[in-house]
Chains A and B, each alone.
Chain A
């Protein structure tokens, strides 16, 4: 049977920051900053949290369904490392504000940046199981990075300061069903690979720690090992010829470029000029949105897939190879096929335009948000959110039916729609 993504949408925030401006302001060594290939990052405002990002990504998909189709969403998986409660999953809030059928499984999963693909594969297995024929699953990967990183210590390299320009905020929602209009999964064509490593993590609420070198090396190891496992299952697969596009988990562009270069050298014995051309043709289309939103952790691999679908050429059906890596770690290489009619449907969500319409933050505005963020720490019991902190940014939500956080009352989060 067919299975895959029926529709997918991205929410890349209300506001963004130019990260070259940030790098200069922080006094980072910008001489070789260009090869990190970072451009912009979405920044979570005080009235945005993982729930609002997730709902704002999923709502256009759900709104496009008939009431009968909407009622067949029987699984809602929230994928995140930015949870707001140890017990209650954020999928419960999403379920409420999306107005889904109560006969629906709701839960949240975590495995760093791998969570979105863990959710996607869970949804695919649910549809393939045919335990409830015709049922659909909604996967919502959502992550934000609101706070500064843990201070560098003995095992934490100073290079981790580059985490700030790369850390974004955003969500991707994917509707999974037996009608894969947008991305048809190659069933069983998956290489997964995981082992215990302490490369990057969120050991305390609202902050991150890690080692950039170890994380990068583990990413590169997994990139190779997942493809080798994929090839065991799909013996005819060829890294250079089988996939017309490659959608990578993109912490920042330079890391993906390095991984692609390493894979092409090793598996295709390619030389630098050929690698560069191949990168521009097969990988760059998937990086366009990632460079505008920043690393959105669990949602990034799906963001790269959405970017490929919007920015690739699909005159004939094309196979896309996808790689996801989540620190800690677990990783997967899998594939699927997309065609022009799917691209037409996908472009209807106008993701690029939504990114264009975001509010551009100045450095002062960006830094003014830190105090507000502190007031929204994990475990906040009561807090009324002032939407007027950055009036211009709030204004840009007007008339767009966006979910915004209104208040936290006795730990319960209360949201409303922007009018």
Chain B
């Protein structure tokens, strides 16, 4: 799975958690918080994406991403080293 696929997966789960964003054109530089996702929403988006990727790592290891693009990067790296 490449970064574009993971990005699409994250975008899909953002829309699942915040249905109002359906059809929105997400950019890698955008922060989930700025799109209206609170901490509970963000954790849910990460959890759904991890499950879709069958990624079994502690969630705290994904911490530190500042925007959607960085979240995709860290998911991609974890998936590669898994």
Question: Which residues of A are interface residues toward B (Cβ below 8 A)?
Answer: 29, 31-33, 35-36, 157-159, 162, 197, 199, 211-214, 216-218, 220-221, 254-255, 257-258, 261-262, 265-266
Contacts and interface: CB of A to CB of B under 8 A. Distances in A.
B33 interface: yes
Contacts of A214: 60, 63
Interface residues of B, number: 19
A254 B40 contact: yes
Interface in B17-39: 18, 33, 36-39
B60 to A, nearest CB: 5
B44 interface: yes
B72 to A, nearest CB: 16
A262 B51 CA distance: 10
Contact of B59 (A31, A157, A220): A220
Contacts of A32: 18, 36-38, 41
A217 B51 contact: no
Contacts of A212: 39
Given A159-B33, A213-B43, A35 B38 contact: yes
Interface residues of B: mostly helix, strand, loop or mixed? helix
Contacts of B39: 159, 162, 212-213, 216, 255
B63 A220 contact: no
A31 B36 contact: yes
A261 B38 contact: no
A218 B59 contact: yes
B12 interface: no
B46 interface: yes
Given A162-B38, A213-B63, 6 more contacts: A29-B36, A29-B38, A162-B39, A197-B60, A220-B59, A257-B40
A197 B43 CA distance: 17
B44 to A, nearest CB: 6
Contacts of B60: 197, 199, 214, 217-218, 221
Nearest to B20: A31
A213 B44 contact: no
A256 to B, nearest CB: 10
| Residue picked from A211, A216, A265, most chain B C-beta under 10 Å | A216
A258 B43 contact: yes
Contacts of B38: 29, 32-33, 35-36, 159, 162, 254
Contacts of B47: 220, 258, 262, 265
Contacts of A217: 43, 46, 58-60, 62-63
Contacts of A157: 33
Contacts of B43: 213, 216-217, 220, 258
Interface in B48-69: 51, 58-60, 62-63
A54 B43 CA distance: 34
A261 B41 contact: no
